[in-house]
């Protein structure tokens, strides 16, 4: 991480002129000749000073041309051995280890560090010297696959440096620990280590160390498929390395930048950048650098569907890892090779190579690698019809995912983000279970994949983020929040101007994204500093078939759960029978891409008020619900657990062949999973009052009328309403977050951010003269502790979000559930103000008469369906009930 020549120096030994001359003469010879001369020379000439003189020559190259330093260090080591001076030999052994590590000679590096540590322990050295050895050996052990030893060395190095008061050494140890956490798949925890180290590196102006840590933070975000957050760190790392002239490690930051471009679909820039990275790696002649550059190049080609080209690059890259015993990168590339082989239809080769990786990963206890290898093996086995073998392989993969999820650092959203990238394992298991007619196992695996973040919150509770911060930390958070609020207000004002300035809006968007990145970095540091903020470990209880039966109060209720996979969609129905829950499973023979396209076309036809929507409405009913017609007959209450783009489908707008909409025969609610509903069921609360906010921007007169009308339904003594300037963020925090058992109604603008859904926001009045309105972002809402059983978002696109596998639709509606509300009523598209007012008044009348939210919304929807003016689903189908009904 930091300049290697900082290493260590023998104290009190100053080479003489003669000793320097001898060193220079030996340095001019080829290594084998020099070593022969050292062994044959009289012992009297092999002095500690001569060893130090050669070591000093090696130090001149270690930071810029490491390969040139290695033979000089080896010659110095040979002289030190002959001199018998362990005090001189110990630091030279460390230098030999460092040069071998940089040259990729990992076994030799490990042996040299072991020797150095043994000598230093015998000599009773200063703690920082021993800490440097532990820190360096930690890196080597990681590459050799000894992750347990790598963590032990890293922790020891950190404690030794802390005891010695060496903050630069602490930063070095944190970098080593973070890298090992990355290998273990604990990316959030790794980032916490890197962030701590970055603070120390900057404090002591360790520019090279700063660059390494920035690069590793970028890598951690890329491992979580978050290219947007990785980009600024990768660019900062490149800038510093270029300023310092550090060609040796420039390639690693270029590799990360290429990964950013690849993840963002910027293919031309990705190829240009990875080509440059490989050229730099060849220039410095580092085998590990060339291997890693080729690995990423192969990944880019594979993502582009160029499987032959990918395989060729990966095979070329893996060849560099074999002579240097870089077992970690060898197996990382081998699993990539197995994936390329699978894509080329070479299933036996894929299974063979995947098994080799799995064996290594199990020995090294690497859950991330175990998951990747087991999944590719399972895919090959499924293709061969070996479903028993695939079932076993997928059990291995899923166990590894669950282990990594438990180890994920940070809050619930961090765990959710991680889990979303591994949904394929669960979807494949559903497919295998269905193939083997294990219906209950298939259903329970589908459940295991869904709603996990909300389930953690409901089952394990939460600690307020702000409650554990120090005064200084709260001040920093407040400054970032204030900046976000100010920029958000300015951005909203600019967008709502009579003549919006596109340049100004783009400028504000850039500033907003930079500030959000700063806030993310701050929160990462806080999770590291305050372990009590961590998502509580231990898995929340997933539902059983017996418990699922308890969720259905009568025979008139049916649960409809979907699992979308690349090749088919699986439909599960759960109804209440005489002896408990009755489960039926149906296979819908349609690919993921085809079903997604049909859903999106239908949703567009509703949002654009297309009069020809009925054909799509009926065909989707026949595709998705008709197979289970027998199970759904006579059911008046439907609980739908969607998957994928089915979250964007308003099922209530689907039509039977007789032309009746689903809303005319059944109430519909949407849930992340049955396990989440069961957790809600333990804490159900009744509504007693209303807290309503309307028209904060003073441009929605219908919203103000809606709030007044709903307040009259509740009555003066049970309603608190805040209109226009009074509908402020401060009043929301005061009124909506402090009372129990009340409904919160927000009749305001909602703005959906499709790039970062947790940056979607509602507008509230600012309460001051700096801006008319301020945004309340989904990420802020999710951090709140809301006591309201029901939140109604009478605003545009508040139910929209980014589908996140394993969680559902992440956005404004989800954020209120995460904050503690049992149910949220929200909209899937930009709604019509007049029809929304009528819908909301009818909804609240039914609600006050004792109907559940879903039944009340059904009542309001049917009323609009009967009105010729509002018969089209555009006017009523956009609102959905999320969560517990």
Q: Is the pLDDT of residue 772 over 80?
A: no
Residue 746's nearest CA partner among 801, 815, 675, 657 is: 815
Q: Output the pLDDT for position 534.
A: 53
C-alpha gyration radius of the chain: 31
How many CA atoms does the CB half-sphere of 582 hold within 13 Å? 13
**Per-residue pLDDT at 834:** 85
- pLDDT bucket at 319, cuts 50 / 70 / 90: very high
The residue count for the chain: 885
Q: pLDDT (tens digit, 9 = 90+) per residue, 9-35?
A: 455 678 999 999 999 999 899 989 988
The residue whose two tokens read 């349609």 is 590
Identify which of 263-267, 414-418, 621-625 has the greatest average pLDDT: 621-625
> pLDDT band at residue 5, thresholds of 50, 70 and 90?
very low
Query: pLDDT tens digits for 597-615?
Result: 999 999 999 999 999 999 9
pLDDT at 672: 87
b vs e for 93-102, b when ≥16 Cβ sit within 10 Å of the residue's Cβ? bbbbbbbbbb
Could you tell me the two tokens for 414?
């961090």
At residue 6, the pLDDT reads: 45
Q: What crossing angle do the helices spanning 250-263 and 287-303 adopt, rounded to 10°?
A: 10
133 near 94, Cβ under 8 Å?
yes
Listed residue (861, 845, 807) closest to 668, CA to CA: 861
Residue 739 — very low, low, confident or very high, per pLDDT cuts 50/70/90? low
- Selected residue with higher pLDDT from 803 and 667: 667
Residue 124 has pLDDT above 90, yes or no: no
162 — pLDDT class (breaks 50, 70, 90): very high
Global pTM?
0.79
Helical (H) or strand (E) element with 769: none
- DSSP assignment string, 699-765: --HHHHHHHHHHHHHH-GGGEEEEEGGGSBHHHIIIIITT-SSEEEEEES-EE--SSSGGG-EEEEE
Mean of pLDDT over the chain: 86
Task: Tell me the C-alpha distance between 666 and 657, whole Å.
Answer: 16
């Amino acid at each position: 991480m930091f300049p290697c020549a900082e290493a260590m120096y023998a104290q009190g030994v100053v080479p003489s002129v003669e000793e320097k001359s001898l060193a220079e003469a030996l340095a001019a010879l080829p290594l084998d000749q020099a070593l022969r001369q050292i062994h044959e020379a009289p012992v009297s000439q092999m002095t500690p000073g001569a060893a130090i003189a050669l070591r000093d020559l090696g130090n001149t190259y270690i930071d810029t041309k490491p390969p040139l330093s290695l033979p000089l260090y080896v010659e110095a080591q040979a002289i030190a051995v002959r001199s018998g001076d362990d005090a001189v030999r110990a630091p030279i052994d460390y230098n030999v280890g460092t040069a071998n590590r940089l040259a990729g000679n990992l076994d030799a590096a490990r042996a040299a560090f072991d020797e150095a540590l043994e000598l230093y322990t015998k000599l009773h050295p200063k703690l920082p010297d021993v800490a440097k050895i532990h820190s360096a050996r930690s890196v080597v052990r990681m590459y050799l696959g000894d992750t347990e030893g790598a963590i032990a060395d890293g922790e020891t190095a950190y404690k030794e440096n802390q005891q010695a008061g060496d903050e630069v050494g602490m930063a070095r140890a944190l970098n080593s620990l973070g890298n090992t956490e990355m290998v273990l798949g604990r990316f959030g925890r790794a980032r916490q280590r890197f962030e701590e180290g970055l603070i120390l590196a900057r404090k002591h102006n360790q520019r090279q160390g700063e660059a390494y840590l920035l690069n590793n933070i970028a890598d951690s975000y890329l491992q979580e498929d978050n290219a947007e957050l990785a980009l600024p760190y990768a660019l900062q790392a490149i800038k510093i390395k270029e300023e310092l002239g550090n060609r040796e490690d420039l390639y690693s930051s270029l590799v990360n930048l290429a990964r950013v471009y690849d993840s963002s679909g910027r293919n031309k820039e990705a190829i240009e950048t990875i080509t440059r990275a490989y050229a730099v790696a060849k220039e410095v002649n580092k085998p590990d650098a060339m291997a890693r550059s080729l690995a990423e190049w192969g990944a880019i080609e594979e993502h582009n569907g160029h499987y032959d080209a990918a395989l060729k690059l990966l095979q070329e890259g893996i060849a560099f890892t074999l002579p240097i015993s870089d077992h970690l990168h060898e197996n990382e590339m081998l699993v990539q090779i197995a994936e390329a082989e699978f894509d080329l239809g070479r299933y036996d080769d894929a299974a063979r190579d995947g098994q080799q990786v799995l064996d290594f990963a199990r020995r090294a206890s690497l859950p991330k690698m175990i998951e990747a290898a087991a999944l590719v093996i399972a895919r090959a086995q499924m293709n061969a019809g070996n479903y028993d073998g695939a079932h076993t392989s997928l059990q291995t993969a899923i166990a590894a995912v669950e282990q990594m999820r438990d180890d994920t650092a940070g809050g619930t959203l961090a765990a959710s983000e991680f889990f979303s990238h591994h949904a394929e394992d669960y979807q494949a298991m559903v497919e295998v279970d269905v193939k083997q007619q294990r219906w209950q196992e298939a259903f329970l695996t589908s459940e295991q994949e869904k709603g996990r973040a909300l389930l953690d919150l409901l089952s394990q509770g939460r600690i307020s983020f702000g409650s554990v911060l120090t005064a200084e930390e709260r001040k920093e958070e407040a400054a970032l929040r204030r900046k976000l609020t100010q920029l958000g207000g300015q951005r909203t004002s600019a967008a709502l101007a009579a003549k919006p300035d596109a340049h100004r809006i783009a400028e504000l968007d850039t500033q907003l994204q930079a500030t959000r990145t700063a806030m993310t970095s701050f929160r990462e540091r806080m999770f590291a500093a305050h372990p009590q903020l961590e998502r509580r470990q231990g898995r929340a209880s997933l539902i059983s078939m017996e418990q699922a039966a308890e969720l259905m109060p009568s025979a008139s209720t049916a649960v409809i759960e979907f699992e979308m996979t690349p090749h088919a969609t699986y439909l599960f129905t759960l109804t209440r029978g005489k002896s408990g829950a009755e489960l039926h499973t149906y296979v819908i023979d349609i690919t993921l891409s085809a079903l997604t396209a049909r859903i999106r076309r239908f949703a567009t036809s509703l949002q654009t008020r297309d009069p020809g929507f009925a054909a799509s409405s009926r065909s989707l009913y026949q595709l998705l619900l008709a197979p289970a017609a027998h199970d759904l007959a006579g059911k008046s209450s439907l609980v739908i657990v969607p998957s994928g783009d089915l979250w964007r489908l308003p099922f209530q707008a689907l039509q039977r062949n007789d032309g009746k909409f689903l809303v005319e025969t059944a109430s519909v609610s949407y849930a992340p999973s049955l396990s989440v509903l069961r957790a809600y069921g333990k804490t159900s609360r009744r509504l007693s009052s209303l807290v309503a906010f309307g028209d904060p921007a003073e441009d929605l007169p219908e919203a103000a009328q809606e709030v007044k009308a709903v307040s009259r339904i509740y009555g003066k003594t049970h309603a608190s309403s805040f209109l226009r300037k009074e509908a402020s963020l401060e009043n929301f925090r005061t009124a909506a977050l402090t009372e129990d058992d009340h409904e919160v109604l927000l009749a305001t603008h909602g703005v959906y951010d499709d790039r970062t859904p947790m940056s979607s926001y509602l507008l509230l009045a600012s309460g001051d003269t700096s801006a008319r309105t301020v945004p309340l972002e989904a990420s802020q809402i999710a951090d709140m502790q809301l006591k309201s059983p029901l939140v109604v978002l009478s605003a545009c696109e508040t139910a929209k979000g980014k589908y996140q596998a394993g969680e559902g639709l992440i956005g404004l509606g989800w954020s209120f559930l995460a904050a503690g509300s049992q149910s949220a009523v929200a909209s899937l598209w930009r709604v019509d103000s007049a029809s929304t007012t009528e819908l909301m008044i009818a909804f609240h009348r039914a609600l006050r008469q004792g109907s559940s939210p879903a039944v009340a919304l059904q009542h309001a929807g049917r009323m609009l369906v009967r009105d010729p003016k509002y018969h089209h689903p555009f006017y009523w189908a956009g609102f959905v009930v999320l969560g517990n009904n």
